Structure 1
């Protein structure tokens, strides 16, 4: 079915889907600014937390480890107080060595235990975080697979790739470290504050007086970073799109053909400069804030010493051990506080990325199975296709000038039906509506008497085979490309399909035979060879209905004859709908429908239409003149 997504070019219906032109740098920046100012997805934090639901058990274990580890970090300072007051400077005036051994031994044990718990906790958080990220990537990819064809014709492939790679990758740090960091730092801060209160509530008030101001400033910094992050991801999307367009085989061939390599480098360089500027802004945003925070937290101990001096002079009972222990706890408080503030900034920054991811996940496919959809009954003798007063307008088309207007016809099982007409008449649109790549705006498309909207899409597509003008082959072997239609096909089945497609002998002439790698989009093969492999792929699927979308129009006359023979073999014994550019290829069709301006203006066999002397004869005359 990949070939269908690539179909287009000549015969693109009026108002049909377009890939969109290149956007200027100023327009792109304006779009990025608009996206940056867009409201965030509602309940974003709730939706992020739901991503961790399948891993509740591991998160609970992680949480317990974090709680224990964080609680252990504040015990050594309390032991330090005891070591000073009871071991080094006891009331007797002589150091108590046994007490010191006991207290130091406990400190060492706690540090070793904390380190071991930290390693275990890091493993669990890394495992859970990366699994969540993987789940998110698969969920997004799966959702995109369900989107209708129109979505991909109006969205650059590079932008879609950027959502999957750059945006999901951009939230990796939050997914892997946030839970443990928030839990660990929060517990450490709370435990440290409790320890500080136990040591001296007066000194605790002095140490904590500036915290509310720092939290307020942090929130403002986070908003700025989130806006820059959104702009940065938009720029990355543009860079990915440029890379995908210009470094593909088709893009390189086009650039070399028009000597535009320098222009492409300049276009990429401009966006790269913009990306560098945004990255620098993102790195620098908040640096002054953290510098101030570090200065404040660093001078607090000195302020504590000064405050302790005033308190002791005022008659408050504070020992040297208390001051040392308090300073130790306060020093341990600095990094968890910084960690919490950084996590807060990361969450605000990553919120913009999560919003972009959820934006795609919230897209509703335009074509979905109805709740009561049924499977198309399997019958090898079936294959009746009917259009009943079908009208169609593309999503970006003009309703006053529909692409198809009140089109009705019937193709009986086993018939070869050809659709001919001038470019833009609506022929290719007919081939899109049968497999329900687009939804009819009015009327009904029926297969074997069933409205396609009432069928399970999977069962419908299983009965159809499509060969388009622009053949799509994966950068893989010939055998792998063929097995895309039937993964469990045997080698004998591959060769049988290839023989019927007139390509087996050619494949066997390659040194590696069916293990020959065809290259990007099959560029190592000729146009005729690619088309015959595509035909063999469809034959392997063995569909009841075969759709040929101008499958020979881009070939030379020799290749056309070889491919046409293969198509005739493929069409034998099955319903065939052929969108034809060259009328010579459909002279023997059971019925020919002449399409013009979105309507069927004539139908009949070749001889009947020639005898009628109407639009079909005019098309013949135009082709004879062109030839």
Structure 2
């Protein structure tokens, strides 16, 4: 329970820290469109104020004097005012909605692009459902505020001011009576805004938990786990409880606003009675005509909608601060792996790889995952990294692809620090096939073309042949147009891994990093793929990580890693003869 209070307090502080100026900056590129909208709103509001005065003339002049000509003109004026206001309203809505949707689009793209630049570490620390919830639920929840806030403020403020001015022109005494409702309205609005903000923060957190449950419970892997562990009913109970909490939060949010609306409706309904009573009091009796009284009452009744609209905008904006805080929190995340300010290009990369006193520690870890590693892998040669699970081999592979940056030291390709290479250039030089394969939910052809969009069908087929997967794909009813299914579950583990190998080979990288790339293959298929790798590795730098030492015997250089440090290195024969750690592993 204390934990929940701490989270709530943190979210409140974060919401308070959101600058309205920063929110306003989202609309800066559309200021001229918004200026046109404001102008239309002002014109519409002024036109709307003409109707009560036309009504007063109808009641006080045209009808008593039976002036049909004047009556016709006044009625035509009323219709014209309504028609012009309606047309201007349509144009205003079109412009304001367009601006709002473009702001939403820009916000979604900015968040997605910023998250794409985050390091792997961010995604290992963050639940997938949480990320999805912020992009969909949080930004979606901001839609009404973003698309209508500016125009609502302008429209309601202009109408409210114009109504009060018109009311004062008719009777300043009755105007004072009408404005008695403002103080309680403002007080109630402030209370509701505070409640809505707290409820909104809790609702979005609950929606994120719901997304996580969906992601974990309805993915292929999640379904398989639930069925084999018999946890399906427990997941349903968890989802039901989360959904029930959402119902409660939505009800509380809606009722908070409804009670305010009900209270204000009663107050505003009582004001006309007070106006009629005031019109009969001695100090006002006989000072105004019936037409003036009717026109004033119409203005006062019309004041309720824009005034409440203006106050509602304040409630919505305050409540949405929790949403803006969550979005800005992601936009403010520091980029751990930065694009270089002035990228260095390697016109014809050879693939000479070096580690120079490289040390790396994961965030929050007391010890280094890699410590003082020195490696020299000449272009076109092969390096094998061996060691116990958790020794740091995969971390070294991640540093080559710059999934992380070293804490100290540097990794170079052809003498250039990988931090000085554009990320896209590095990705074209270094190809990685890991033990965890990920296939997109699309066709085999599109999964392969993901590596190189301009690749021809012939090049795709050649890569598949090299990875020993072409015959399997060709034997399917739809061939390369076969859907792989969610996360590639249409295929076996070995088939998925060979498709991933083909996808990497299609890019023709100068450096191949094979992180347990054949771990899911049976012995026969592994030998076939290994022959393909032997052929493709000629003239290419290859870094292989493997637990089965039979796959790395022929490597030019074998390095034994233990607790992030290089324990020994050499050829297979030399290391066996040395009788050290490698000899123990090979025994």
Give the TM-score category using the shorter length.
Answer: over 0.9
Q: Distance in 1 between matches of 2:177 and 2:218?
A: 61
Cα deviation digits, residues 96-125 of structure 1 (max 9, x gap): 221111101100111111111112211222
1:475-512 deviation per Cα after TM superposition (whole angstroms, max 9, x unaligned): 01111111111101111111111111111222111111
Structure 1 residue 32, shift from structure 2 partner:
4.7
> Does 2:12 align with 1:37?
yes
Partner of 2:500: 534
1:296 aligned residue: 267
- 1:358 corresponds to: 328
* Residue 380 (structure 2) aligned to one of 400, 414, 423: 414
Q: What pairs up with 1:486-525 in 2 under 5 angstroms?
A: 486-525=452-491
Matches of 2:170 and 2:584, distance apart in 1 = 100
Q: Does 1:429 align with 2:395?
A: yes
Shift of 1:175: 1.3
Alpha-carbon offset, residue 564 of structure 1: 2.6
Distance of 1:475 and 1:210 partners within structure 2: 59
Q: Residue 23 of structure 1 aligns with which residue?
A: none
**Counterpart pick for 1:232 among 200, 203, 213:** 203
Q: Is the 8 A contact 2:18 2:321 kept in 1?
A: no
Q: Distance in 1 between matches of 2:495 and 2:538?
A: 21
Q: Aligned residue for 1:204?
A: 175
The question of 1:391 aligning with 2:366 is answered no
After superposition, the C-alpha distances for 1:535-579 in whole angstroms (9 at most, x for unaligned) are 111111011111011112233323323333333334232101111
Distance in 2 separating the partners of 1:33 and 1:527: 44
Secondary structure class of the residue paired with 1:36: helix
Alignment partner of 1:82 is 2:57: yes
- Secondary structure, aligned partner of 2:506: helix
* Alignment-derived partner of residue 253 in structure 1: 224
2:406 alignment partner in structure 1: 440
Q: What do residues 4-27 of structure 1 show as CA deviations (whole Å, max 9, x unaligned)?
A: xxxxxxxxxxxxxxxxxxxxxx68
Q: 1:43 to 1:220 in 2, by over 3 A?
A: same
Residue 269 of structure 2 aligns to a residue whose secondary structure is helix
1:367 is aligned to 337
Question: Where does residue 589 of structure 1 map in the other structure?
Answer: 555
C-alpha deviation, 1:41, in angstroms: 5.8
TM-aligned CA deviation for residue 60 of structure 1: 2.0
1:70 to 39, 45, 52: 45
Matched residue, 1:450: 416
Say if 1:535 and 1:566, in contact at 8 Å, map to a contact too.
no
Report the 3-state secondary structure (helix = DSSP H, G, I; strand = E; otherwise coil) of the residue aligned with 2:567.
Answer: strand
Secondary structure at the residue paired with 1:440?
Answer: coil
Residues 109-154 of structure 1 deviation map (CA, whole Å, 9 limit, x = unaligned)? 1111111111221122222111111111011101111111110110
The offset of 1:286, in angstroms, is 2.9
How many residues align? The count is: 587
* SS of corresponding position for 1:39: helix
Whether the 8 Å CA contact 1:426–1:597 is kept in 2: the answer is yes
Are 1:475 and 2:441 an aligned pair? yes
Distance in structure 2 (CA, Å) of the matches to 1:339 and 1:537: 56
Alpha-carbon distance, 1:316 to partner: 5.6
- Quote the Cα distance in structure 2 between the aligned partners of 1:173 and 1:215: 22
Residue in structure 2 matched with residue 330 of structure 1 by the alignment? 300
Task: Name the residue aligned to 2:583.
Answer: 617
Deviation at 1:33, TM superposition (A): 2.0
- Specify the alignment match of 1:20 in structure 2: none
Render the CA deviation track for 1:516-543: whole Å, top value 9, x for unaligned: 1111111101112111111111111011
**Runs of 4+ with deviation above 4 angstroms:** 26-32, 313-316
Structure 2 residue matching 1:124: 3-state secondary structure: helix
* Pairing 1:164–2:139 present: no
Once the two structures are superposed, the pairs formed by residues 211-226 of structure 1 within 5 Å of their partners are 211-226=182-197
Deviations 1:47-76 (A, max 9, x none): 121111222232222222211112221111
- Structure 1 residue 307 and structure 2 residue 273: aligned? no
The alpha-carbon deviation at position 362 of structure 1 amounts to 0.8
1:376 equivalent to 2:345? Answer yes
Determine if contact 1:531/1:563 at 8 Å carries over to the other structure. no
Distance 1:596 1:459, change over 3 A: same
Q: In 2, distance between residues paired with 1:98 and 1:52?
A: 49
In 2: Cα distance, 1:437 partner to 1:209 partner: 64
Residues 401 and 432 of structure 2 are in contact (CA less than 8 Å); yes or no, is this contact kept in structure 1? no
Give the TM-score normalised by the residue count of structure 2: 0.97
Give the superposed CA RMSD: 1.6
1: CA distance, partners of 2:71 / 2:544:
93
1:173 equivalent in structure 2: 144
CA contact under 8 A between 1:501 and 1:569: conserved in structure 2?
A: no
- Contact 1:375/1:460, CA 8 A, preserved across alignment: no
Unaligned runs of 5+ in 1: 1-25, 622-627
Q: Is the 8 A contact 1:528 1:563 kept in 2?
A: no
Unaligned runs of 5+ in 2: none
The answer on whether the counterparts of 1:501 and 1:570 sit within 8 Å (CA) in structure 2 is: no
Question: Separation in 1 of the partners of 2:563 and 2:192?
Answer: 58
1:349 corresponds, among 307, 313, 319, to: 319
**Alignment deviations for residues 172-206 of structure 1 (CA, whole Å, 9 cap, x no partner):** 11111212211111111111001000000000001
Residue in 2 that maps onto 1:127: 98
- Return closer, same or farther for 1:445/1:28 CA change in 2, 3 Å cut-off: same
Q: 1:43, CA displacement in angstroms?
A: 5.4
Distance in 2 separating the partners of 1:511 and 1:140: 40
CA gap 1:379/1:319 in 2 versus in 1, 3 angstroms: same
Alpha-carbon distance in structure 2 between the residues aligned to 1:201 and 1:478: 77
**Following TM superposition, by how much is the alpha carbon of 1:336 offset from its aligned partner in structure 2, in angstroms?**
0.7
